[in-house]
Amino acid sequence: MNMERRQFIPDPAEKIKPKIPDIPTLSRKLEEVQTSSQLSEKEVMSLWARIRQEDRETERKLYEDILKKILTRIQRECGTLGNFGSLEEGKKLMAAPTHPTVKEFVPDVDNPFYSGAIASYDQLSNKIRVHDNFKVNLGPESLVLDLSKEGFSDSITVLHHEVIHSKQDSIDVKDKDIQLKLLIVRIVRALRIGSPLSIAVAAWVPKISVPTALIAALLIFRNKVESQKEKILHEGQAYIGSARFGKGKHVLKTTEELIERLQKSYGIWKRNLNKILIMSHDIKRLYALGMSDESIGEIVKRTKWDNKRNCYDDIESTVKALSETSGLTEEQIDDLVAADDINGAIFIEKSKRIAQEELKKAVDDLENKST
Ligand SMILES: [Zn+2]
């Protein structure tokens, strides 16, 4: 298995033929789209409100229709849907049932108030769990408004982040390692308070209750399952992949921001900072070279840190293989990464313009019909 793991097998479905980017031209293009006149937020709000109907169902259909037109044009005119490409898949993963084993340990898991997080990916159920408010933000009314006002949606960025996690891992309940961990959790539960382990858990969570103890125990074990290396890779790819066509509060554009988030939210140790730097540099390259979330997720799944070469082995060898097949120099690949960033900013401006045009058209159509 180890032998196989180290081999890079190019995916024939993936057409990786990056064009050498022309950064000055791209920058000019960005300036052009940024400075050309667009509607103000007030104008957008007033147009958006004019779609409102007495009948909620009619209203929903109208917004749905506008959203469909916007997304069709974005795909056609930009060649990608950006983070919106995850919308359908994300909704399916949101609707997935919770695995019985998860329910056994966390009975309250489907309660929206169970967790403070707005969204999370549950490996065992292969499900994206979201807060109720989040579902409203994914409705067509909200998305049309977000796109027309900003050219992006915070909730779609988060959804894409979670969809990327679904490409990286899934837990097999039959897996011996997982079974052992579940057994330990079962024992903790059976003993309730009294065993050294559950006392340790109790001390860790103030005001202990059995469900919190279980959640805590699960979290402790999950932290052990998901080692530092995995967190760096998993969160790294999810943040980088969802930042490419994103903007706003959930987007970490620079490696410094990524390091800060990984340290604060995921407790990555200082001595692992160089791993974040190397991961970020290489995963950005894989995306810029044209690889998909899925293919990068596959590599993330199997790659290992190589202490001698100071890199993630499979990631590094994939970057190398792709550089060779594309015939690009190191500098040209750096340019590709820079171009990817500018293209993302152009994409947002274009999406905003398209959304505003479609919203305006819909209002005109609606008002022409009624007069
Ligand atoms: Zn994440």
| Burial status of residue 307 (CB atoms within 10 A of its CB: 0-12, 13-18, 19 or more) | exposed
Residue 127 sits at φ, ψ, to 5 deg, of -135, 145
Measured from the Cβ of residue 44, the count of other Cβ atoms closer than 10 Å reads 22
Q: How far is the CA of 110 from the centre of ligand 1 (A)?
A: 19
Q: How far is the CA of 104 from the centre of ligand 1 (A)?
A: 24
Mean pLDDT for back-to-back runs of 10 residues, the chain (371 residues): 42 60 93 89 96 93 97 97 97 92 74 70 87 89 96 96 90 61 58 46 47 61 61 93 93 92 85 91 95 95 89 94 89 94 96 97 91 70
Residue 210 sits at φ, ψ, to 5 deg, of -60, -50
Q: How far is the CA of 238 from the centre of ligand 1 (A)?
A: 6
Q: How far is the CA of 161 from the centre of ligand 1 (A)?
A: 6
CA distance 192 to 264: 31
Angle between helix axes 196-204 and 210-225 (nearest 10 degrees) is 100
CA distance 46 to 117: 32
Tracing tokens 């293989």 back to the chain, one arrives at 321
Q: How far is the CA of 157 from the centre of ligand 1 (A)?
A: 11
Q: How far is the CA of 144 from the centre of ligand 1 (A)?
A: 26
| Burial status of residue 161 (CB atoms within 10 A of its CB: 0-12, 13-18, 19 or more) | buried
Q: How far is the CA of 103 from the centre of ligand 1 (A)?
A: 21
Which amino acid type is present at position 77? Answer: E
Q: How far is the CA of 14 from the centre of ligand 1 (A)?
A: 25
Q: Which strand (E) or helix (H) includes residue 122? A: strand 119-122
The pLDDT assigned to 177 comes to 61
Question: Which tokens go with 14?
Answer: 């993936």
CA distance 337 to 112: 38
Among 153, 122, 160, 154, CA closest to 294: 160
The pLDDT assigned to 49 comes to 94
The pLDDT assigned to 170 comes to 61
Q: How far is the CA of 158 from the centre of ligand 1 (A)?
A: 9
The pLDDT assigned to 196 comes to 45
Partners of 164 in the β-ladder: none
Q: How far is the CA of 195 from the centre of ligand 1 (A)?
A: 32
Cβ-contact 18, 328 below 8 angstroms: yes
The pLDDT assigned to 113 comes to 60
What is the C-alpha end-to-end distance of the chain, expressed in Å? Answer: 70
Tell me how far CA of residue 31 lies from CA of 20, 240, 252, 357, in angstroms. 20, 24, 22, 20
Q: How far is the CA of 219 from the centre of ligand 1 (A)?
A: 14
The pLDDT assigned to 103 comes to 79
Q: How far is the CA of 22 from the centre of ligand 1 (A)?
A: 33
The pLDDT assigned to 18 comes to 72
Q: How far is the CA of 278 from the centre of ligand 1 (A)?
A: 19
Cβ-contact 185, 220 below 8 angstroms: no
